[in-house]
């Protein structure tokens, strides 16, 4: 004798969607190391603002990440130097 269980299709669809969303959330989670790597890549392309944002996220996840702190300070310093150079150029012009 077989037992037949009837589950409404809408519940099955919701269960499938929930499972997919849950698996996406887990796979999209980034570590501090991921953000540091992305920051280094952006910095190598000259995107210092983007790099600093990535280092900020890394430090949010791991406040003891010395690499993120060091690089963030370095590129904040470079950004300051670039901004000062820009101000100096405007003053001269």
Do the Cβ atoms of 75 and 51 come closer than 8 Å? yes
What are the backbone angles phi and psi of residue 5, rounded to the nearest 5°? Answer: -110, 125
- Tell me whether residue 78 is in a domain: yes
Query: Domain range holding 73?
Result: 30-92
pLDDT digit string (tens) for 13-55? 888 887 777 666 554 578 999 999 999 999 999 999 999 999 9
88 token code pair: 């100096």
Q: Give the CATH number for residue 72.
A: 1.25.40.10
- Tell me whether residue 64 is in a domain: yes
- Tell me whether residue 3 is in a domain: no
What is the pTM (predicted TM-score) of this model?
Answer: 0.59
**Cα 44 versus chain centre, distance:** 17
CA atoms within 13 A on the CB side of 5: 2
pLDDT digit string (tens) for 2-22? 666 676 887 888 888 877 776
- Tell me whether residue 79 is in a domain: yes
């Amino acid at each position: 004798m077989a037992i037949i269980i009837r589950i409404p299709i809408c519940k099955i669809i919701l269960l499938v969607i929930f499972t997919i969303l849950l698996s996406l959330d887990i796979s999209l989670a980034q570590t501090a190391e991921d953000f540091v790597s992305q920051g280094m890549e952006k910095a190598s392309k000259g995107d210092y603002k983007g790099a600093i944002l990535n280092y900020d996220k890394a430090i949010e996840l791991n406040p003891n990440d010395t690499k993120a702190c060091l690089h963030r300070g370095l590129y904040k310093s470079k950004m300051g130097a670039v901004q000062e150079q820009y101000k100096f150029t405007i003053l001269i012009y």
